[in-house]
Amino acid sequence: MPMNAVHRRLCRSDSWAQRMHEQVLPWALDGVDLTGRVLEIGPGYGVTTRWLLERSGLLTAAEVDPDMAADLGREFAGRVDVRTADGADLPFGAGTFDAVVCFTMLHHVPSVAQQDRLFAEAARVLRPGGVFAGSDSRLSLRFRVLHVRDTMVVVDPAGLPARLGAAGLSAAETTLGGRAFRFRATRV
């Protein structure tokens, strides 16, 4: 999904990695079991993948951008199964993963309908009892400015549990925290 030059630079920066590794990811995944088969949707430049690699069982990453996926494949060769794939059309069988996660990428999915397909796909590839969890940013002026000429379809955290329920997930919840929100839901 298109990102402007400032946004691309930020997402590759050490300060972004530090914030994600020290604050966002521990908060977003607090209490989520990552010891089994884990799918990360939309890893982008791999900042979150680096953190997950040290904390998960078998890690797979699905990245829609072929160039980013190729870069991730080279960086994580033999340690992460990197696939060029759209989160709304995953190339995995039903019940393949114990956990599906995504971070700060839902707003880059180009439509609400495609976001809903991504949620349904996450539910489909989860085993019963598996967890879909992650985080995204909340709307603010700073957020809008950062996304000038980007794809930006903001997810309303208050409405997300109903959308996750409609996708086949249960016990869906969101929690607000600063400029972000976290979510989680379970596959029945």
Determine the pLDDT at residue 11: 67
pTM as predicted: 0.92
CATH 3.10.20.30 fits 5-187, yes or no: no
Determine the pLDDT at residue 6: 55
d(CA 118, CA 25): 20
Written as tens digits, the pLDDT of the chain (188 aa) is: 466 565 566 667 777 779 888 999 999 999 999 999 999 999 999 999 999 999 999 999 999 999 999 999 999 999 999 999 999 999 999 999 999 999 999 988 999 999 999 999 999 999 999 999 999 988 666 666 666 677 778 999 999 999 999 999 999 999 999 889 999 999 98
Residue 150, number of CB atoms within 10 A of its CB: 16
d(CA 163, CA 165): 5
Q: What angle do CA 68, 83, 94 make, to 5 degrees?
A: 145
Determine the pLDDT at residue 151: 76
Determine the pLDDT at residue 15: 78
Domain ranges of the chain: 5-187
Q: With DSSP H G I counted as helix, E B as strand and the rest as coil, what are the percentages for the chain, rounded to 5? A: 35, 30, 35
Which of 45, 75, 47 minimizes the C-alpha distance to 63?
45
Determine the pLDDT at residue 20: 87
